Amino acid sequence: MTDKFDEYELLKKAKAGDADSFEALIMSCKTKAWNIALRFMRNENDAMDALQESFIKIYTKLNTFRGESGFNTWAYRITVNTCKDILKKNKKYKRQESLYTTGEDGEFLRDFISDDPTPEEETFQKETARELSDCINMLSQEQQEMIILRDVHGFSYADIGDMLSIPAGTVKSRISRARNTLKELWMEQKQIENV
């Protein structure tokens, strides 16, 4: 939602109990919140459960939203925290399947494929995406969060800081460490393949 006045008005009405205004706010962040939940939970059913739980929390906590960040950023923070809470409670989710798998090709894999690749290019891109996804899965939970929020979803350092309740400078350093670790894992994988 780009118009801050519209967001303010919708928030005001939603806090007063207007269901249509709340729905409009949720619709403005639903797609990205779904993608965040899917990347954290790693399968559609668990992601849907996490998303529904997130939206219930957003609804019940709406009156506590003070507007220090945008509504969407606040909603994404709740989604991230809900996913993290579920993952902590249920260890079964850890390493259950590839971080980005959502279907036969996987949503993340499609991001790597251009509009008209040759068959060779497509095979190479899918293999590279799979290898990268495997390396991301080897990162710590904190490092995965950083890569997902910054490099996959493109959130700003400030937005990530708001979502995770940490300073933007801390976000930058954590992202830098996560990228360095990912690079090291990637290089190790390449060396193993060449042996």
Predicted TM-score of the model (pTM): 0.65
Of 22, 50, 24, 23, nearest to 36 by C-alpha is 50
Over residues 105-162, the pLDDT tens digits come to 444 443 433 345 567 767 777 787 788 888 888 899 899 999 989 988 889 999 999 8
> pLDDT band at 62, cuts 50/70/90?
very high
pLDDT at 48: 93
- Report pLDDT for 29: 92
pLDDT for 2 beyond 80: no
pLDDT attached to residue 106: 43
CA angle, 160 then 147 then 83, to 5°: 65
Which pLDDT belongs to residue 153? Answer: 86
Residue 24, SS3 per DSSP: helix
The answer to whether the CB of 82 falls within 8 A of the CB of 57 is: yes
Q: Between these two residues, 85 and 100, which has the higher pLDDT value?
A: 85
CA dist., res. 164 & res. 77, Å (int): 6
Other C-beta atoms lying within 10 Å of the C-beta of residue 9: 13
User: From CA 44, how far away is CA 38, in angstroms rounded?
Assistant: 6
Summarize pLDDT for 16-40 with one digit per residue, the tens.
Answer: 999 999 999 999 999 999 999 988 8
Domain 1-95 sits in CATH at 1.10.1740.10
Give just the sign of the alpha carbon dihedral 152, 172, 146, 124: positive
Statement: residue 98 has pLDDT above 60 = no
**For the segment 163-192, what is each residue's pLDDT rounded down to a tens digit?**
888 999 999 999 999 999 999 988 888 777
Alpha carbon distances (Å) from 154 to 12, 31, 57, 94: 29, 14, 24, 24
What are the sequence ranges of the domains in the chain?
1-95
Q: Report pLDDT for 173.
A: 95
165 DSSP 8-state letter: T
- Those residues with Cβ within 8 angstroms of residue 139's Cβ, 6 or more apart along the chain or in another chain: 147, 178, 181, 182, 185
